[in-house]
Chains A and B, each alone.
Chain A
Amino acid sequence: MFTRFEEYAASSMLGHPDSPPRLQGKLLFAKEWEREVFGLALSLSKAGCFEWEDFRQNLIESIAEWEHAPCDGQPRWDYYERFFVALMKTLKVSGLLSVAELAILEPGPRHDP
């Protein structure tokens, strides 16, 4: 049993489809924004904004959506992009942000090269 939220949260993902990238015992962030979005989700759940498990289910679903997308036009795999999508979905359900705020933050339609 984990007594610290951070360890509970990370541990719950290990060995599952939402397992985060890591290297030699540490979380692997290729870019600063990846570190920020991971920390953001953890902070929000730790603050009681949503259940970590609810976020995880959204993340698993977001990853599955990418996996099931047709190859044509499928964007390059990006774990933390899926992570952000899941976080936005979780926030939408939580009612933490207004419709206007969500509209500003929602990912717009992409035009991948």
Chain B
Amino acid sequence: MSELFKYDDDREAESAAKVRALEALLIEKGVIGSDSVDTVLTHFERVAGPFNGARIVAHAWVDPAFKQRLLADTPKAIAELNLPQGMDGAEGEHMVAVANGDGVHNLIICTLCSCYPWPVLGLPPYWYKDPVFRARGVREPRAVLREFGVPIAEDTEVKVWDSSAQIRWFVVPERPAGTDQLGEDELAALITPEAMMGVALVPSPTASSSTP
């Protein structure tokens, strides 16, 4: 980290002390409980987030029958996995998975606002709501994907899916080469929200040491 962005330890300690003093006071006064802060954060850290999508995709990679069920009826297949509560919420009940592969690459956008499958992808990146991304995603998806570092072969069809209040799409990316020996947890660790939006590929864990 450059000197320019170095943290000022005193300032950090001061901020931390102020926040703790405020939290302690509010707990003492009975305004919030001692576990209130952790409870709300648990939602983002363990209930709804990209870790769910990664588990779903990893399971689809190792179980082709599950993958078929996932593509045929996404909410029903997801329900098999005993993911945390919240997967069946208003943001999750209309989710539909589409798979990359067999000459097809899928890209998820939202032309109207920023509908997004929160329970499986977590918080959308800042550019997802950008009107330019939304417009260009429809008009020239190959150019957009190239800019994301995902060049798509001419003979591969690019399908663009427009998320809405009715349907929240997510992508099952292709399983990278060199992952035959990996277990589901290790596979899940490779899968990013961007790969499940179609703007990234899942890199092979050996990619850095091999020639593409």
Give A residues with C-beta under 8 Å from B: 1-7, 10-11, 14-15, 19, 22, 24-27, 30-33, 35-40, 42-44, 46-47, 49, 75-76, 78, 80-81, 84, 87-88, 96-97, 101, 104-105, 107, 110, 112-113
Nearest to A46 among chain B residues (CB) is: B40
Give B residues with C-beta under 8 Å from A: 5, 7-8, 11-12, 15-16, 18-23, 25-26, 31-32, 36-41, 43-45, 48-50, 86, 89-91, 114, 118, 121-126, 129, 165, 192-194
Name the B residues within 8 Å of A96 (CB-CB): 26, 31
Looking at B91, B118, B123, which has the most chain A CB atoms within 10 Å of its CB? Answer: B123
Among A10, A33, A36, the residue within 8 A (CB) of B44 is: A10
Whether B20 contacts A36 by the Cβ 8 Å rule is yes
In the assembled complex, the Cα of A75 lies from the Cα of B7 at a distance in Å of: 11
Closest CB in chain A relative to B85 CB, distance in Å = 10
Nearest to B165 among chain A residues (CB) is: A1
Closest CB in chain A relative to B167 CB, distance in Å = 15
Whether A40 contacts B37 by the Cβ 8 Å rule is yes
In the assembled complex, the Cα of A32 lies from the Cα of B37 at a distance in Å of: 12
In the assembled complex, the Cα of A8 lies from the Cα of B192 at a distance in Å of: 23
Task: Provide 25 A-B residue pairs closer than 8 Å at the C-beta atoms, listed in order of the A residue.
Answer: A1-B90, A6-B40, A14-B114, A14-B123, A14-B126, A15-B114, A24-B192, A24-B193, A25-B121, A25-B122, A25-B123, A33-B12, A33-B19, A37-B19, A38-B41, A43-B32, A43-B37, A44-B31, A80-B15, A84-B18, A88-B22, A96-B31, A105-B18, A112-B8, A112-B11
User: Knowing A6-B44, A19-B126, A25-B123 touch, does A104 contact B19 (C-beta < 8 A)?
Assistant: no
